[in-house]
Amino acid sequence: MELPWKSAGTWCRKGQAFCEQGQYDRAIECYDRAIHLDAGAGAWYLKGRALTSAGRYQPAMESLDQAIRLDPTSARFWYAGGRALYNLQQYREAAEYCGRAVELAPECADAWLTRGHAFKGMGRAPEAIGCYDQVVVIEPGRIEAWLARVVPVLECYDRVIALDPRNADAWYARGTIQILLSRYGDALASYDRALAIDPDHAGAWYTRGCTFAALQRYEEAIGCFDRALVLRPDDDGAWYNRGRALQSLERYEEALVCYERALEIDPENRRVWNNKASVLSVLSHYDQALVCYDRELLIHPENADAWYNKGLALFILGRYGEAVTCYTRALEVDPAKAGVWSTKGNALVLLERSKEALDCYDRALAIDPNDAEALKGKAMALAHLGHSAGAARCYERLRRRPE
């Protein structure tokens, strides 16, 4: 009978504990003890992973191949082998191992990603892109996959340009990929090449404008959008982005004209309704801003920021009860916004509902203990309720909070 503290499972658990501490050599010793007692697939797999973490990829492959031999139906074994092979720069074999992993477990995003990297290492860009596409279908927020996806595409356009340097569309597409990689200077150079070949390339003028806007070079951005709109006067995106650039320059009346033109073309563009509402609020046209927020929320009722901004407009108009309703809707969507809790508290105090306001301020301070607005509001609510000592403590906290 095997004593429990000498079982293979115990040695594996001990090895995993050492791995978590980064003590891979000691972990490998434990896995060896486990394999000596019971040469199961799991122990070989764990040893292979520990060897991979230690950067010893060839011995890792030997262990992982043993695990696969004992259990060829395990997707994680094949994936781990593919990772080790990729680190050995054996890209063809890595793609094969990860391919077997995704056959067994099609939802394994990590295996698709490593397979894509392996194809990229072999210079097989279309297959790499196909793998990265699978990753973002499974995990749409996987930034690594999005970035990895655009690099092979960029390489494809580089090849096209090498063969046909007068291809304006290729230069334009190359610039668009470079924007995704935040390589704005390179993107501008690509758009300049496209426009030198085809001065009437509306897409290049538009994306060149977006690049200047990202660099906060708004006057230059507006010039590009103007050129794009001469060529494509019904481009609602160009009108919208021209409006944003003008708004950034505090040229609000001109920005409004752009947003109105964009909405004539596409009345369902909620981004335009939001920006139009923001400009109207800056110009103190709050009733008109409310109409815009309502249109935006009709299109996207789960937009917490729109509910909050609508609440602010109502608050300024003295319609505190309606403002509270908007803040409540915003917090139903995103309860982690300290500022919304504070502002809701302020509206409740003005409605003489100070006890409810206190709960809002406490919720805000639980998220951000140094929220000045919440501390001031809580002090005011406590004072209204006759709790002068509590109000004084809030003011003291406010005085001592870090700048």
- Give CA–CA dist 243/250, Å, rounded: 10
Question: What is the distance between the alpha carbons of residues 72 and 82, in angstroms, rounded to a whole number?
Answer: 14
- Domains annotated on the chain, with CATH: 323-403 (1.25.40.10)
d(CA 226, CA 195): 15
Q: What is the 3-state secondary structure (H, E, C) of the chain?
A: CCCHHHCHHHHHHHHHHHHHCCCHHHHHHHHHHHHHHCCCHHHHHHHHHHHHHCCCHHHHHHHHHHHHHHCCCCHHHHHHHHHHHHHCCCHHHHHHHHHHHHHHCCCCHHHHHHHHHHHHHCCCHHHHHHHHHHHHHHCCCCHHHHHHHHHHHHHHHHHHHHHCCCCHHHHHHHHHHHHHCCCHHHHHHHHHHHHHHCCCCHHHHHHHHHHHHHCCCHHHHHHHHHHHHHHCCCCHHHHHHHHHHHHHCCCHHHHHHHHHHHHHHCCCCHHHHHHHHHHHHHCCCHHHHHHHHHHHHHHCCCCHHHHHHHHHHHHHCCCHHHHHHHHHHHHHHCCCCHHHHHHHHHHHHHCCCHHHHHHHHHHHHHHCCCCHHHHHHHHHHHHHCCCHHHHHHHHHHHHHCCC
Going residue by residue through the chain (403 aa), what tens digit of pLDDT does each one get? 343 446 888 888 888 888 888 899 999 999 999 998 887 898 999 999 999 999 999 999 999 999 999 999 999 999 999 999 999 999 999 999 999 999 999 999 999 999 999 998 998 888 998 999 999 889 887 878 877 777 777 877 888 899 999 999 999 999 988 887 888 999 999 999 999 999 999 999 999 999 999 999 999 999 999 999 999 999 999 999 999 999 999 999 999 999 999 999 999 988 999 999 999 999 999 999 999 999 999 988 988 999 999 999 999 999 999 999 999 999 999 998 889 999 999 999 999 999 999 999 999 999 988 889 999 999 999 998 999 999 999 988 888 877 5
Q: What is the pLDDT of residue 227?
A: 97
Q: What is the pLDDT of residue 4?
A: 44
Distance CA 246, CA 253 (A): 9
Whole-angstrom distance, CA of residue 98 vs CA of residue 20: 25
Give the integer Cα–Cα distance in Å for 132 and 104. 18
- C-alpha count within 13 angstroms, C-beta hemisphere, residue 403: 0
Q: What is the pLDDT of residue 199?
A: 97
Q: What is the pLDDT of residue 238?
A: 96
